[in-house]
Structure 1
Amino acid sequence: MSKTKVSVVKVEKPEGNAQFMAGKYVRNEEDVKKIKAAVAEAVELAIGSLDTIIKKGDIVLIKPNLAFQAPPESFAVVDPRTIEAVVSYIKENSKAAKVVVGDNPSLGMHVGRAKPAFKDSKMEEAAKLGGADEVIYFDETEVVPVEVEGAVVFKHATVFKPFLDADVVINLPKMKVHLAGTVTLGLKNWNGIIPNCHPNDQQQGAHRIDLGQKMADLYKIRKADLVIVDSVIGMEGQGPHAGSPIEMNLIVAGTDTVAVDSVAASIMGFQPMEIPAIRCAGVEGLGEIDLEKIDVVGNSIESVMKHFKRPNGDPIGMYNGLTCAMQQTCPGCFVNVRGALDSFALSGIDMKTFLEKNGEVIVISGGVPDFEPELCKDKDIFICGDCWELFPSVDKVKEGAALARSVTYYPGCAPVYIFAQLNADLQKLAAACYTFPCPK
């Protein structure tokens, strides 16, 4: 029995990388050609010809990692040059009747819906430059209810119809780290096939400790026909929003998403079993996780590996004056509070001035048995999720809320929208401090 094949191909270094990594994206025709050449080599090493997956008259959907409304310089979204290169390559080398690009940003309700996200990321412009027949804003399309056969935690889904209708789906994720998922690759990229519904269970509900299993369950709805990982410039550190660019100049490709993710994660310096989504999908037999059983062609993992800085999802004690009371909370709120606080701290705010004028801020989540209600007196407090009401410490939290200057509640289990909303609410507090004297 032949091994699953995954290709790893080097991109001739794009001249625009240095400027891009310094904070300014500029499209260069030659750079797109270099990436396109690497895409062609990677795909052909992995599957031979596009004709093996794309038949005459097929509708091909390219599903990139749009993530959220962010510019290319965020490195949270797929490189526009890679989008253009992939679209152009497929248009020129397949018999597809139509090549479309579509996605839904997973936090779109709070940090930009698909249309502005495609625009700001320059992905729409890039798709059109590559010759895409259409850019589809998933959140403006129909959805189809789906029972997920064999699902463990995410058994009922509402899936965007264009994703189900396409004859061929090409998964185009970004090589980056992620606070909640450890890395974002092909499996995690399936988060965009379902709509944003806050704070109910659809899309955001399984962002607790079972996030990896949710991604494996989503993969059961429909597997990708081809995966092409944008690894030109990756993201390390506090991804997916506050990380740092890391130059890789690679394209990784294959037909088995689990195998491609296993190879890509290894290139980033992780063991595949460290990554919850890869582990869950691999153990369930949804693809190959064992590197010994994967035929890595082109370049070896060892020859291109870089150890990416790992994300830290712990918010406790990270920022003086932004106090987190989270003794008994799951990773759902834990990592998303950390993401929100990172965004606030890195937004250019003068933290010293903010704390002098506003005072300490308290963020509460889960059970807090050792919580002292007096801590909240005359302070702004933020209470995450619903589960705090199920713990014996509920009365202490209510007492603290009664003593607080202001209370903001974020309802729902694992309310992922706090990733954006808590930051936005802290920004409002900061803006008020610079405009009016804040009560101490």
Structure 2
Amino acid sequence: MLDKTTRPRDAVQRTAATVALVRTAPQRERVFEDVQRAMELAHWHDYITAGAEIALKPNLGWDKLIPGAISAPWVVEGVIIALKDYAGKLFMVESNQVVVNVEKVFRLSGMADICRRHNIPWVNMSRGQFVRMRDPERLVLKDVHLPEILTRTELITLPLLKTHNKTTLSGAIKNQWGCLETLRHNFHPVLPEALVDLNTLVRPRFAVMDGTVGLEGDGPKSGRPKEMNVILASANLVGIDSVAARIMGFDPSAVHHLTLCAQHGLGSLPGRFALTGDPVESVAQPFVPAAHNAVSGLEMILRQSFVERLIFKTPLLWIPAWGARRYYDLWDWRVGRKLRREFFARS
């Protein structure tokens, strides 16, 4: 039984917190056990206040259900099981995207069933109340609105082991992107700096990374699933992403937002924290890095053109948004359904 009088460690201690890496297997009960083992190895109860209300932030950013592109129900449920006798009320939170209705993903992914089974309220942060946060000293998010629920809960982020065409990998730091309002894509040109500000504002207490199935290639949406069977956990956001990068074959020190976040006290790079559990070498598999697909590539071109403001900051945004959605529908018809079929045939 955990000692419920334990107080969470401060931000300085979290900066150098241990990262746990645990190998697992594709069986539901085994995943539950290994999620709890990873969390214990990373001393999760040292960073979460006993009895506190907790917001769980999975990655539900895609409705095509490509394995590895969104959070797996087993890992999320494993975290809930580990928390339920220690924490207070739990919430599951996520947000819409310009081209994704998260309510649809919530249902199709099985997360709605998990919330019903464990009596956990679902909060679509795009539809909730927001609180204005102003600070001229921030790097780029000097005047933003954040979901009100994140101002009164302790945040546990549940990221994925996947590539990303703008940040190399989508991990514990990038997973908070959905905590901004729907038009957050306008911060893409200053993404590393925005991630520093955002994570400073919402300050996740702990991260559990779902590496049961990774995503390589053109992530975050049009990549290819890669069975990995690993779970990572830590209160050290830069640390857990650094270990994930090494597993994927990337150099953490070459990932701009990781080095920038480390400089601003959001965690530490390898050499400044302990790694426990299984060694990286036992699970490492090179991932195909992400390139810009047609949608991301066109966005980058338009953002450097004279029509940038007209396209992205007026109601004309519906035109490229409609086009992006049609592109992904076609991609899923031509590629995505084949990837799903092949993955489940061999897994």
Confirm or deny a common fold (TM above 0.5): yes
Distance (whole Å) between structure 2 residues aligned to residue 62 and residue 426 of structure 1? 31
Distance (whole Å) between structure 2 residues aligned to residue 8 and residue 77 of structure 1? 20
Higher relative contact order (CA 8 A, sep 6+): 2
Q: 1:149 to 1:128 in 2, by over 3 A?
A: farther
Distance (whole Å) between structure 1 residues aligned to residue 136 and residue 22 of structure 2? 35
Contact 2:62 / 2:221 at 8 angstroms: preserved in 1?
A: no
Equivalent in 32, 38, 41 of residue 34 of structure 2: 38
Deviations 1:300-342 (A, max 9, x none): 1222111111011275xxxxxxxxxxxxxxxxx8x3438xxxx
SS at match of 1:294: coil
Q: 1:269 to 1:417 in 2, by over 3 A?
A: farther
Contact 1:337 / 1:422 at 8 angstroms: preserved in 2?
A: no
Q: 1:418 to 1:181 in 2, by over 3 A?
A: farther
Equivalent in 250, 258, 277 of residue 278 of structure 1: 258
Letter aligned with residue 102 of structure 1:
V
Distance (whole Å) between structure 2 residues aligned to residue 278 and residue 225 of structure 1? 17
Q: Which runs of structure 2 are paired with 1:214-225 in the superposition (5 Å)?
A: 214-225=194-205
User: Structure 1 length normalisation: TM-score?
Assistant: 0.65
1:196 correspondence with 2:182:
yes
Which residue of the partner structure matches residue 187 of structure 2? Answer: 206
Contact 2:162 / 2:216 at 8 angstroms: preserved in 1?
A: yes
Distance (whole Å) between structure 1 residues aligned to residue 238 and residue 41 of structure 2? 18
Q: 1:104 to 1:169 in 2, by over 3 A?
A: same
Q: 1:389 to 1:417 in 2, by over 3 A?
A: closer
Which residue of the partner structure matches residue 88 of structure 2? Answer: 97
Q: 1:183 to 1:309 in 2, by over 3 A?
A: same
Distance (whole Å) between structure 1 residues aligned to residue 239 and residue 317 of structure 2? 28
1:133 correspondence with 2:120:
yes
- Give 1:186 deviation, angstroms: 0.8
1:226 correspondence with 2:219:
no
Contact 1:53 / 1:225 at 8 angstroms: preserved in 2?
A: yes
- Give 1:389 deviation, angstroms: 5.0
Contact 1:103 / 1:193 at 8 angstroms: preserved in 2?
A: yes
Which residue of the partner structure matches residue 423 of structure 1? Answer: 324
Q: 1:417 to 1:336 in 2, by over 3 A?
A: farther
Which residue of the partner structure matches residue 22 of structure 2? Answer: 9
Deviations 1:18-60 (A, max 9, x none): xxxxxxxxxxxxx22111111111111111x63x334443111
Contact 2:99 / 2:324 at 8 angstroms: preserved in 1?
A: no
Letter aligned with residue 23 of structure 2:
K
SS at match of 2:126: helix
Contact 2:186 / 2:312 at 8 angstroms: preserved in 1?
A: no
Contact 2:32 / 2:75 at 8 angstroms: preserved in 1?
A: yes
Distance (whole Å) between structure 2 residues aligned to residue 275 and residue 418 of structure 1? 32
Q: Which runs of structure 2 are paired with 1:283-322 in the superposition (5 Å)?
A: 283-289=263-269, 291-313=270-292
When structure 1 is superposed on structure 2, of 59-68 and 274-283 the one drifting more is: 274-283
Contact 1:148 / 1:157 at 8 angstroms: preserved in 2?
A: no
Q: 1:5 to 1:132 in 2, by over 3 A?
A: farther
Q: 1:70 to 1:158 in 2, by over 3 A?
A: farther
Question: Which structure has the highest helix share of the two?
Answer: 2
Letter aligned with residue 133 of structure 2:
V
Q: 1:417 to 1:221 in 2, by over 3 A?
A: farther
Contact 1:144 / 1:159 at 8 angstroms: preserved in 2?
A: yes
Equivalent in 176, 185, 190 of residue 171 of structure 2: 185
Which residue of the partner structure matches residue 162 of structure 2? Answer: 176
Deviations 1:77-111 (A, max 9, x none): 1111111111122114x1x2211111114x2x332
Question: Over the residues paired in the alignment, what is the CA RMSD in angstroms?
Answer: 2.8
Distance (whole Å) between structure 2 residues aligned to residue 428 and residue 246 of structure 1? 22
Q: Runs of 5+ in structure 2 lacking a partner?
A: 1-11, 331-347
Q: Which has the larger radius of gyration?
A: 1
Q: 1:214 to 1:35 in 2, by over 3 A?
A: same
- Give 1:412 deviation, angstroms: 3.5
User: Structure 2 length normalisation: TM-score?
Assistant: 0.82
What percentage of residue pairs aligned between the two structures are identical? 24
Which residue of the partner structure matches residue 338 of structure 2? Answer: none
1:124 correspondence with 2:117:
no
Distance (whole Å) between structure 2 residues aligned to residue 222 and residue 177 of structure 1? 23
Which residue of the partner structure matches residue 141 of structure 2? Answer: 154
Contact 1:64 / 1:172 at 8 angstroms: preserved in 2?
A: yes
Distance (whole Å) between structure 1 residues aligned to residue 259 and residue 328 of structure 2? 38
1:61 correspondence with 2:24:
no
